[in-house]
Copies of this chain bind each other. A is one copy, B any other.
Amino acid sequence: MATMPKIVDPGARRRAVADAVLRVIGREGVEGASLRNVAEEAGLAIGSVRHYFHDHDELLLFTMRELSTRIDGRVRTHVDRLLDPAARAERPARVEELIGEFLALDEERRQEAVLWMAFCGAARIRPELRACAVEMETGLRDLLARVLRGAQESGALPADLDVDLECLRLSALLDGLNLRAMLEPEYVTPEAQRAVLRRHLQGLRVPR
């Protein structure tokens, strides 16, 4: 009864196709991610792609979630390292490192930021994508809230800080930096982004 005619892991295939989608979107934008383009990029026939995604919408949504979990996973690594009860002296530097994980500081993360922005733009029109985008941003704010509250309790940040407000402010700053790094990377360099982030964090430390 356990018949296995092909030795293909469907999950791996889907992820490989999603990778092709990301490459196409990075090159031509979301509207360029047609089944034909994606199939060619993945080195597959159109019919093969459609065998794993019975819908074009499903293909895009899966790819967006794939991207979000990829980003989320990388950040989670840093968050674990940060919350590790190691020497507290290192924490300030690691906070900057953690939050910098959301910025386009190297080519890999720059590409991810570009892709994420592309999906966010598409999410305004397509409801399914919109839900995914909101989840991601909410997760980002929650993560920032935990970090800021942790720093508050350890005395690194003033106790009377309005954490919710600061989370919105900081997350908006990060998104804005990514948006601009996407449009004018020659101006918003990694160094500039780091300087802005450092200045912002330093601005949090002074009592209001």
- Closest beta carbon of chain B to A183's beta carbon, Å: 6
Name the B residues within 8 Å of A203 (CB-CB): 203, 206
0/1 interface trace, chain A 1-33, chain B, CB 8 Å (1 if under) = 000000000000000000000000000110110
Contacts of A150-208 to chain B: CB distance below 8 A:
162, 165-166, 168-169, 171-177, 179-180, 182-184, 188, 192, 195-196, 199-200, 202-203, 206, 208
User: Is A124 in contact with chain B by the CB < 8 A criterion?
Assistant: yes
0/1 interface trace, chain A 134-146, chain B, CB 8 Å (1 if under) = 1001000000000
Name the B residues within 8 Å of A118 (CB-CB): 121, 124
| With known contacts A165-B195, A196-B168, A183–B130 Cβ distance under 8 A | yes
Name the B residues within 8 Å of A184 (CB-CB): 134, 137
Q: Report the nearest B residue to A195, measured CB to CB.
A: B165
Flag if B199 contacts A29 (CB, 8 Å). Answer: no
- Closest beta carbon of chain B to A102's beta carbon, Å: 11
Name the B residues within 8 Å of A192 (CB-CB): 165, 168
Q: How long is the Cα–Cα vector from A145 to B160 in the complex, in angstroms?
A: 30
User: Is A147 in contact with chain B by the CB < 8 A criterion?
Assistant: no
- The SS class assigned to the A binding surface is helix
- Residue of A133, A175, A208 ringed by the most chain B CB atoms within 10 A: A175
User: Is A67 in contact with chain B by the CB < 8 A criterion?
Assistant: no
User: Is A114 in contact with chain B by the CB < 8 A criterion?
Assistant: yes
A-B contact pairs, 15 of them (CB 8 A): A29-B124, A29-B125, A31-B31, A120-B179, A124-B183, A162-B199, A165-B192, A165-B195, A165-B199, A169-B173, A169-B199, A171-B176, A173-B173, A176-B176, A203-B203
